[in-house]
Structure 1
């Protein structure tokens, strides 16, 4: 059976549904996943199209007047263990605008600025987008500390896991090693480009490391600073700040400068927006590198629509290679299609990952798991692609 992701819309017939679906399609395209892997379901085709044994995610749009639709369908989905995201419209009115059957589900208030977050929640539920939501703030302490802390607090309030050196390195941890590790495991870097940023050895190295790891950068360029063309890359999204973006036009006080709240919201929206694009770029890099080496060694590696790789062997055996961003986790292989493959009992799985700048203690731990535990899922680091493919 070919599994499809079922995206379901229920509840009020609001025009916002089309906005969400259009953005969802754009994000899927950015992830280089075929839209044929999805089917869109609503009350009109639910009985005909919905399958309880295939992955499903539901947007339930509430009603300001309490006239709730599709409640029985929502009950059915809850019984099947499907995730439902209730979307309400008025602040603090969740219980008035969402039916009681969904009262135990975490909801979100609809705002246009939240469209990216709403779509990303669905992609995370389908396990097509990492749900770790890791962000790295790069800055020069003696130029932009107050804005860095403001961003840290704002991003954390939007459920991002944010790395800021003054807040995120534990006591006794090797500072620089932990910093590179957290950067390697991040989805997006927010870089505060102040006039002397690149004059700092560490800031310059952070910028170079981001390029080497192909991590997307949102670069906020201070009003009194102009970036040179060679300071940017194809994965950098520079925004030239104006003094009016700052509270009281104060942009050059490291301890007192603050971004205005509406501008801060736009930055958070941009962070949400480029997560899928950056994930796709890093996956493409791993896939291209792995397939190139395999092809050179005469192996036929096929890219599946869900963005994992397969190699068919004699005796109906199959290898699955899953491009994994950051530090490999066990849930990196939980998409429905891979779970279906695993049921055959003739599948071996490798999580392929770029080990550059990941802390040695993590790599040693992953290598120990590969050697000492009889598990179905093992890891394979980028620097060992060729030697492993040559010998297996």
Structure 2
């Protein structure tokens, strides 16, 4: 790869910045990304290492005393259009702890329980995690409506795009089709496993569907109930009366989880979202590779988690696994590979994706985009046929 991703640490550095750095590379390893595709820059090596035209993300750590550091470097980064995340410590003192040059940046109030969010913001900016952070809440209406709404509101507040049937499906839409469509595009499912949850045919199918698509499930098991059904990607938590306000857990309209548990759940959701991405990519890559080999294609998995097919005469085709539903913005972002991989003549780039349960109207839209965009999409059900013909 010609380009490297620049992780830049500026401001008042210390124990927190070192911890964020360590956690960042732990997450990179978890996502099975090559460590050497990232370069770490701080004020000591900035002049020798920083390249203005490389993808970059800056963690700027504020100072509680207002002794701002590296302001000259911040000025250069702003002119380069680099993404900068100011991190401050007291809710009322952003203007005191962060230099004026960064007052228009959307800063993050430091919370020790939300370090995963700090890391994921950087990975999202590099396209290593989806910028849309989609969560699906699965529940039985006549048992856990109040808790489902409570979690919906808490996750929305923390910048997740949350699907809850009562809030997310427009009138006039085919209910079950839209539900499956939204599930296929989510990162994590939060399943409220109440005593009668599995008596519903649809609830059982949701577990089966999530398991088949390898979507991570955070399963909350109600008090006086047990884990009856699980999947390979299930993260179960047994609830007790003490987890609920006033220990009321069996009233669909009044039951509420305690706030400290909800905060912890949001944090775990952030962590599992990233962890689950690699396993879903693995599944898609393996399926495509098996079809490619069976059709005599010479494909190779690159460290950056995309596949290349050698066509001879220094030409390549590239196949990039997309988790969830491809968007037109995915096509634009991945067109950058043409500039990054300069040692080969790239004939074409395809985004490969699992089309199961995606609504027909959206599949037709993706097919229509293929007629107009340089970056094409290729659905899983067509892998074998396409490889036979191309």
Question: Would you say same fold, with TM above 0.5?
Answer: yes
Q: Shift of the alpha carbon at 1:233?
A: 1.7
Matches for 1:336-351 after TM superposition, within 5 Å: 338-341=337-340, 346-351=346-351
Q: Shift of the alpha carbon at 1:238?
A: 0.3
Residues 75-124 of structure 1: CA deviation (Å, up to 9, x unaligned): 11111111000000001211111000111111001111110111110000
Aligned to 2:280: 282
Aligned to 2:266: 268
Residue 87 of structure 1 aligns to a residue in which SS?
Answer: strand
Residues 134-162 of structure 1: CA deviation (Å, up to 9, x unaligned): 00000001110000000000000001100
Residues 15-42 of structure 1: CA deviation (Å, up to 9, x unaligned): 1112211221121111110111111111
Aligned to 1:182: 182
| Alpha-carbon separation, structure 1, partners of 2:77 and 2:243 | 45
Aligned to 2:132: 132
1:259 paired to 2:252: no
| Alpha-carbon separation, structure 2, partners of 1:335 and 1:58 | 22
Aligned to 1:49: 49
Residue 235 of structure 2 aligns to a residue in which SS?
Answer: strand
Aligned to 1:239: 237
1:105 paired to 2:105: yes
Evaluate the alpha carbon distance shift between residue 5 and residue 336 of structure 1 in structure 2; reply closer, same or farther with a 3 A threshold.
Answer: farther
Q: Shift of the alpha carbon at 1:341?
A: 4.7
Q: Shift of the alpha carbon at 1:128?
A: 0.4
Which structure 2 segments of 5+ residues have no match? none
Q: Shift of the alpha carbon at 1:345?
A: 6.7
| Alpha-carbon separation, structure 1, partners of 2:68 and 2:334 | 32
Matches for 1:195-206 after TM superposition, within 5 Å: 195-206=195-206
Please give the root-mean-square deviation of Cα atoms over the aligned residues, in Å. Answer: 1.5
Q: Shift of the alpha carbon at 1:223?
A: 1.1
Matches for 1:240-389 after TM superposition, within 5 Å: 240-333=238-331, 334=333, 338-341=337-340, 346-370=346-370, 372-373=371-372, 375-389=373-387
Residues 181-203 of structure 1: CA deviation (Å, up to 9, x unaligned): 00000000000011111111111
Evaluate the alpha carbon distance shift between residue 361 and residue 335 of structure 1 in structure 2; reply closer, same or farther with a 3 A threshold.
Answer: closer
Residue 183 of structure 2 aligns to a residue in which SS?
Answer: helix
| Alpha-carbon separation, structure 2, partners of 1:335 and 1:85 | 24
1:123 paired to 2:153: no
| Alpha-carbon separation, structure 1, partners of 2:255 and 2:382 | 47
Aligned to 1:82: 82
Evaluate the alpha carbon distance shift between residue 338 and residue 318 of structure 1 in structure 2; reply closer, same or farther with a 3 A threshold.
Answer: same
CA contact (8 A) 2:62 2:87 kept: yes
CA contact (8 A) 2:284 2:354 kept: yes
| Alpha-carbon separation, structure 1, partners of 2:320 and 2:152 | 31
| Alpha-carbon separation, structure 2, partners of 1:314 and 1:274 | 41
| Alpha-carbon separation, structure 2, partners of 1:339 and 1:263 | 46
Say how many residue pairs are matched.
388
Aligned to 2:141: 141
CA contact (8 A) 2:338 2:346 kept: no
| Alpha-carbon separation, structure 1, partners of 2:173 and 2:329 | 27
| Alpha-carbon separation, structure 2, partners of 1:276 and 1:181 | 21
Residues 189-234 of structure 1: CA deviation (Å, up to 9, x unaligned): 0000111111111111111111111110000111111113xx1122
Residue 67 of structure 2 aligns to a residue in which SS?
Answer: coil
| Alpha-carbon separation, structure 1, partners of 2:95 and 2:318 | 45
1:172 paired to 2:172: yes
CA contact (8 A) 1:341 1:347 kept: no
Q: Shift of the alpha carbon at 1:368?
A: 2.3
| Alpha-carbon separation, structure 1, partners of 2:335 and 2:18 | 26
